[in-house]
A and B are shown apart, each in its own frame.
Chain A
C-alpha cells in the first residue's frame, strides 16, 4: 500500500506539530481564519486526538477583517475546544490606523507589530503559522522551524539546516520559533484536503452576490459602513468570491459563479493568475517585498 500525497503531507504536518508540543514550553497557533488556518487547525485536532490541541489559538486582529471571518473564528475555536486569544495593537487602535489612510503602515502596525506584542505579552516561545512555500519566493527558502532572535528578526542567511524529520527546536530564553507545519502543501493540496475532509471554511470563498466597488484594479467588497466611497463610486452587486482572505479593504475579489467546492477548485485550476495577486502586501519594495517584511518579523 502506497500512501497518497495528501496522506504523506498530513502525516508530516502532524509530526511537526507534535514535535513542537513536545519541545516548546509555550506554543500557540496563529489563526487567521483563512483556508490555510482552517486546514492547520484541522490537522492539530488530528495530531492530539482524543485530547484537544494543547495550546491556544491566537488571532492578531486588525479590526478590518470581513465580518464573516469573525463569526467563523469564534465558532471554530469553540468546536475544537481551544482557548481563543485575540490581540489588537493598542497603539494602532489609539492612532486609528486603517488601510484607507495609512497604506503599508496599516499592515506594519496591526500585523507585524501586533504579532510581536502578542507573542511577548503571553510569552509564547513557538508559534504555528499557516504559511506555505509555494506562496511566494522568499517563503520557498524558509525552514519549517524558523528561528527568531529575541527581537523577532529572521536572518535568511543564518538558518539552521533541517535534515530528515529532525527539527532543532532549542533556543535561549527570549528567543522563539515560528513553525510552519503546512510548508509543503500547495494551494491545490489545501483545496483538495478541505474537500476530502469536509473542513468548514468562511463562506466568502464561495461565490455570492456581494456589494463591491472597483478601485486601483482590485474588486473590493464594501463589508461595512467604514468603507469611504470615493466620488463617483457606488457599490454594485456582483457575483464574487475570494481566493485569499485578509483585511477586507485590501483584499481583491474575483468575479465568479462557483458556489460549490469542486467548482471553486475548478476555477482555481483553470485560472491564470497566482493566489497572492489579489493582495496588495506583496507589491511593496519590488520583488523583495515579502522578504523584507519577514526579516522585520512579519509572518
Chain B
C-alpha cells in the first residue's frame, strides 16, 4: 500500500524534470542541506532504513538494483526480498562479517533538501565512530526496535548525540510491522524515552512509528498507523530548522586559515566564518593579540561581497596593517572570543593506546595547533548509565572530563556556544594518529589569576656570575646502561674545571620529589615532567645540570627539550644493547623483571624509544665510562 504512494511522489519529480528542466534546476539550486546521523544497535534496522531512504528518493539506479537483487539472494538476510542493508554495507570485510565497521556517508536529495547521512556502526567501536559522525550532524535519528523498546544502547546513543551538541533528536520506533502497528507499544516506548531524555537534558524530540523494511511513515503516512497524525520521517527531515542558520545570528567569528599575499599590494585573511556575519566597515578584533581594525573588503573570485555569513569561506582585508596569521581568530570588536591556556574539557579517547596524563600531545582547535598536556580525568562517564566513575586514564572509547594546559594562550569559545572554536582533536606526536577529541567547557580561572612575577636578577645575570653557559646534559638509556656512572664522572670532571653543576639522578629523585610516583606509563611521564621543571629552574639559576634517567619515551624527552632555551638541552643516548645491560644487571633488576616480580620494566614489558637525533650517542660496548665522560665534556665545552 505504502509502496504505491511512494512511487507517486517520485513520479511527480520525474515529470518536472521531463517537462521543465530549467525550472527543476532552479528549484534544486535553492535547496538547503541537512546533515544527520542514524544511531542504532546491530539489529535495529539502521542500514535497512538508510537503504530505504535512498531507494525512496530514487538514489538507486537500475544496475545497482540488479546487483542488489542478486546480492540479496546470495548473502542477504531477508529471504527472497530485497535486503536494503546491502546497499550501505560498503567494505568487503564487513560484507563478509555482516557488520559495518566505520563511518560511511550517504547522499540523497528531495525537492526541498539535499541530505548527507552519517552511518555509524552500533557495535564495539561505537563511541569513536558515532562521535565522529555526529560532529558534523544537524540532527540525530535514534532507532529503537519496537519489539525491544528503550535499551542501554538507546541511552548510550542519545547521550553521545546530546554530548556532541545535536539539538534535533528523532526517536524512530522501527519495525512497527513486527508488533502489529500497536499504538500501545509505541506510546510506552515514547513515554520511557521521554523520562530518560529529560534526565540527561534532552529538552525535546520527535517520535515516529516507522518500518524501514516495509516503508511505513518514511515518505508517506502509513494507513497501518492511522493513529499517527504525522509527520513522516522524510517530511520532518525536509522541514526541520537547520542549526547552522542559527549561527548567523551570533557575534562574528572567523579562524584565519591562510594569509593570502600574492604581492605587496594585497594582504587578505582567508577562513571559514564559524558564526555571525561580516560587512565592510565592521570593527573587528584579532585574538589572541587583541589588536583592532576594521574590515575593508570581502574578496571573492566573483567580486567583492557586501556581506558574508556563517558557513561561507571568504577572504577578508583589513584597513590597518596589523599582525594576524594562521591560528588567530578575527572576531567582532565589541564581542571578542576569550583566550586562555588552561581549560576544562570533555575528552573522548579514540586510540588503542590509553591517554597518558602529562604527556604532551598536539592539540588542534580551529586552525591552530599547539602542544598540550592533559591531567588525570576528574571523572570518567559510564556511557551506559551516565554515572561518573573515578579513573586514572581514559581507554579507547572512554569519555571523561579533564583539565588541559596548552603551551600558549589560544583563542576559543565554549563548545556549547561554538562547535568550531570549542571542539578540538588531540594528535599523538610520535604516530601522528588522531587519538582523542575534546569539547571545551570553560577556561580555568587560574589561567587568568596566576601571573609571571618578573625578577630583577635575570637568568643571564645568574649565568654570568658563574662565568658559564647553563645546560642540561640529559643521559637516557636502559636500566644498567651506565647512565649514573657516566653522569657521576661527568659532574666530577666539570667540578674540577670549576663549573657549577648539579646531578639529578633517577633513583635519588624517586626517594623525595617523586616518591609518590610508580612505574606505569602515566607515572613515568609525570616523573620526567617534574625533573624537567626542576632542571629548568636550575638552568635559570645558571647551573649545568646533569641528569641520569631512563626516560624511555621520546615525547617526554622532547617535552623537556622544549622547556629549555634553544641549544641548552644536550641529549646523550647511552647506547647499551638490552642483552648487555641484562648481562651486567648491576642492581639485579632484570632478574626480578624476568621472574615477573617487577612490572613495567623498561626493555622487558615496557618499551624504550631510542632517540632519533640525539646531540651525542655513546656506545658503551666500545668505550669505558672515563672515555665516555671525556667525550661528553669535549662536545659540551669545546
Q: Which residues of A contact B (CB under 8 A)?
A: 1-12, 14-15, 18-19, 21-22, 45-52, 133-134, 137-138, 140-141, 156-157, 159-166, 168, 170-172, 183-184, 186, 188-189, 192, 195-196, 262-263, 265-266, 269-274, 277, 287-288, 291-292
Contact = CB atoms under 8 A, between A and B. Distances in A.
Contacts of A21: 258
A188 B103 contact: no
A131 B133 CA distance: 20
A3 to B, nearest CB: 5
A240 to B, nearest CB: 19
Contacts of B17: 266, 269-270
Given A141-B91, A265-B21, A50 B262 contact: yes
B132 A163 contact: yes
Contacts of B71: 287
Contact of A5 (B24, B31, B132, B425): B31
B437 A163 contact: yes
19 contacts: A2-B32, A5-B32, A11-B313, A15-B257, A49-B315, A133-B107, A140-B90, A141-B90, A161-B425, A163-B423, A164-B135, A165-B420, A166-B364, A186-B114, A266-B18, A266-B24, A270-B14, A287-B71, A291-B91
B313 A18 contact: yes
B101 to A, nearest CB: 7
Interface stretch (B207-215, B240-248, B403-411, B483-491): B240-248
A137 B309 CA distance: 34
Contacts of B301: 45-46, 49
Interface of B: 14, 17-18, 21-22, 24-25, 28-33, 61-64, 67, 71, 88, 90-93, 95, 101-107, 109, 113-114, 116, 128-129, 131-132, 135-136, 242, 244-245, 248, 257-258, 260-262, 266, 268, 270-272, 299-302, 309, 311-313, 315, 326, 350, 362, 364-365, 367, 419-420, 423-425, 427, 432-434, 437
Nearest to A48: B260
A175 to B, nearest CB: 8
A184 B419 CA distance: 20
Pairs A-B, 10 closest by C-beta atoms: A5-B33, A51-B262, A137-B90, A288-B92, A14-B313, A272-B62, A274-B61, A5-B114, A163-B135, A170-B432
Contacts of B105: 133, 140, 183-184
A11 B367 contact: no
A273 B66 CA distance: 10
A50 B260 contact: yes
A168 B63 contact: no
B357 to A, nearest CB: 21
A76 to B, nearest CB: 15
B311 A47 contact: no
Contact of B433 (A6, A48, A160): A160
B311 A168 contact: no
B618 to A, nearest CB: 26
Contacts of B92: 287-288, 291-292
Given A5-B31, A287-B71, A271 B364 contact: no
A31 B102 CA distance: 29
A199 to B, nearest CB: 12
Given A137-B91, A165-B272, A274 B29 contact: no
A291 B91 CA distance: 7
B102 A159 contact: yes
A273 B61 contact: yes
A291 B424 CA distance: 31
B270 A18 contact: yes
A168 B91 contact: no
Most central of B101, B131, B364 by chain A CB within 10 Å: B364
Given A168-B425, A170-B432, A141 B103 contact: yes
Contacts of A287: 67, 71, 92, 95
Nearest to A163: B135
B196 to A, nearest CB: 26
Contact of A15 (B21, B28, B272): B272
A14 B257 CA distance: 11
Contact of A2 (B28, B129, B245, B432): B245
A45 B300 CA distance: 10
Contacts of B302: 46
A274 B64 contact: yes
Contact of B28 (A141, A165, A188): A188
B266 A11 contact: no
B300 to A, nearest CB: 7
A47 B312 CA distance: 11
A269 B24 CA distance: 11
Contacts of A188: 28, 109
Contacts of A133: 104-105, 107
Q: Which of A45, A137, A262, A288 has the most CB of B within 10 A?
A: A137
A265 B28 CA distance: 12
B32 A3 contact: yes
Given A161-B350, A266-B24, A274-B64, 11 more contacts: A2-B242, A12-B313, A19-B257, A138-B90, A140-B104, A164-B136, A168-B432, A189-B114, A192-B28, A274-B63, A288-B95
A14 B105 CA distance: 20
A11 B101 contact: no
Contacts of B28: 188, 192
A137 B427 CA distance: 29
A6 B437 contact: no
A257 to B, nearest CB: 14
Contacts of A160: 433-434
Nearest to B31: A5
Contact of B18 (A4, A161, A186, A270): A270
Nearest to B259: A22
Nearest to A189: B114
Contact of A51 (B21, B90, B116, B260): B260
Given A164-B135, A168-B432, A186 B107 contact: yes
Nearest to A132: B107
B22 to A, nearest CB: 6
A133 B31 CA distance: 20
A186 B432 contact: no
B300 A49 contact: yes
Given A50-B299, A137-B91, A291-B91, A3 B312 contact: yes
A162 B132 contact: yes
A158 to B, nearest CB: 8
A287 B70 CA distance: 12
- Residue from the set A6, A15, A166, A266 with the largest chain B CB neighbour count within 10 Å: A166
A171 B432 contact: yes
B212 to A, nearest CB: 19
A10 B308 CA distance: 14
Given A51-B260, A140-B106, A168-B425, A4 B29 contact: yes
B311 A3 contact: yes
B259 to A, nearest CB: 9
Nearest to A272: B62
Contacts of B104: 133, 140-141
A223 B114 CA distance: 38
B521 to A, nearest CB: 22
Contact of A168 (B107, B271, B364): B364
Given A161-B132, A271-B61, A273-B62, A166 B423 contact: yes
B93 A157 contact: yes
Contact of B30 (A4, A137, A162, A277): A4
Contacts of B423: 163-164, 166
Contacts of A6: 29
B248 A1 contact: yes
B434 A161 contact: yes
